[in-house]
Amino acid sequence: MDNIALGTNTELTDDQFYNRDEDISWLKRFLESTSDGSPPTIMVTGIRGVGKTVLLKKIKKELDEDYLVCYIDLSITSGYQKGELTEIGIMNEFYDCWMKECERKGISTLFKKILKSSKRTLGLREIVDIAGWPLPIPQTEDDYKKLSKFVFHLPQEIYEEQSSLKGTILIIDEFQSIKDLGNALKPFIWFLRGIIQSQRNVAYIFSGSVTSTDKIVTEIASNEGAFGGRILTFEVPPFTKETVREYLNERVPSLIFDEKGFERFYKCTKGVPFYVNTFARLLPKGIPLNDDKVKMEFSNSLTFLAVHFMNQWSRLTFQEQCIITKLVDGPLKRIKIARTLNKEPGALSASLRRLQDRGLLKNENGLYSITEPIFKAWLEKEYEKKGIYPYRTI
């Protein structure tokens, strides 16, 4: 029987999880140094769908017995979803996550200690009950500064009060969402850096659907960034051709590829687990799959494979859509894009920045290009079918 995960699954069973043994070993080896008072700060990057979240949740599960591990996806927080992400909102998400993890692990006596500590050390005038635990509410700028330090120092305090723990670990997924902080981004990153450097038993993982050249990575991990190049970086790679072949043979033996058919499958999916799983589920089983058959099935499956990008496309401005369509045939410099749109180069700055923030475009050595081949393939198909790009939909 075929045994393949849904492409959208972010948490897999042990039976569904495949490969990544070296990646898990590498990350766990550094994270376990937290118990020795040498906690790492790690940046995990990679393109969307490559399996970062699945990998991190697997690591969380394996370290859960000895460590208090807090996992936060910033992209699904209410503040980000409403376009209202703030430092206070992020701070509350961190606090809420730590409290839930403490409750899950049965560290119930900690809540009263936190309440007493909040009143004594912060001097806040209001403390409310949120889902069964105390949450100090800042009323002034001075309150906010005190509360920020309290929340961010909390995992170290939890470790010091719980002798059974080897350390605490905070995983911040889709960290590129903090770009929504705007002008407050740099001060927030530098504040967080100061906190991290003062903690001896708290490890941090920043993970996001970005490449190593993304601006937010530069802000944090480059030599000129907040951490001055002292952050460990790890880019989760797509599966190799041989890994995909072994995976399909083991998990979906009903797919009958000839050699060229498999070559086409790998070229279409690029070894990205989301596309591998989704396309493998959509392909017909028990019949020969040659190059032409796989190519045809890929074209027919594009609306399923590119659904995330189709949703993003519908939310773009007309100018942003036009910029992308000019790059379907290949990378261009900004001045060339501007000429084809009869615009001044400076008039494209905001749109280009937003498209990069959304992960739809990348800029390498001054050349802008579409980040995702699947997105590009969907646009090409739409143009071939209709003679025009889908600028507007009903």
For the chain, which residues make up each domain, given as ranges?
A: 21-99+149-235, 241-304, 308-384
Identical fold, 241-304 and 308-384: no
- Is residue 72 within 8 A of residue 171, CB to CB? The reply is yes
d(CA 1, CA 157): 49
* Nearest Cα residue to 49 out of 273, 305, 357, 371: 273
Q: Which long-range contacts (CB under 8 A, 24 or more apart) does 9-18 make?
A: 9/54, 10/53, 10/54, 10/57, 11/53, 11/54, 11/57, 12/54, 12/58, 17/54, 17/58, 18/247, 18/251
Please tell me whether residue 222 adopts helix, strand or coil conformation. coil
User: From start to end of the chain, where are the E strands?
Assistant: 41-45, 67-73, 126-130, 133-137, 167-173, 202-208, 232-235, 256-257, 288-289, 332-333, 361-364, 367-370
Query: CA triplet 85, 191, 41: central angle to 5 degrees?
Result: 95
pLDDT tens digits for the chain (394 residues)?
A: 456 666 555 565 556 667 788 888 999 999 999 999 999 999 998 888 888 988 999 999 999 999 999 999 998 888 888 888 888 888 888 888 888 898 888 876 565 666 666 555 655 556 666 555 566 666 666 666 777 777 888 899 889 888 889 999 999 999 888 888 888 888 888 888 888 888 899 999 999 877 666 777 777 877 777 777 678 888 898 999 999 999 999 989 999 999 999 999 999 999 999 999 999 999 999 999 999 999 999 999 998 898 889 989 999 999 999 999 999 999 999 999 999 999 999 999 999 988 988 889 988 889 999 988 899 999 999 999 999 999 876 5
Under CATH, which number does the domain 308-384 receive? 1.10.10.10
Its CATH class, for the domain covering 241-304, is mainly alpha
CATH architecture of 21-99+149-235: 3-Layer(aba) Sandwich (3.40)
For 169, phi then psi, to 5°, come to: -135, 130
CA distances from 137 to 78, 88, 96, 163, 326 (A): 18, 10, 13, 29, 49
Alpha helices, DSSP H only, in 120-178?
Answer: 141-161
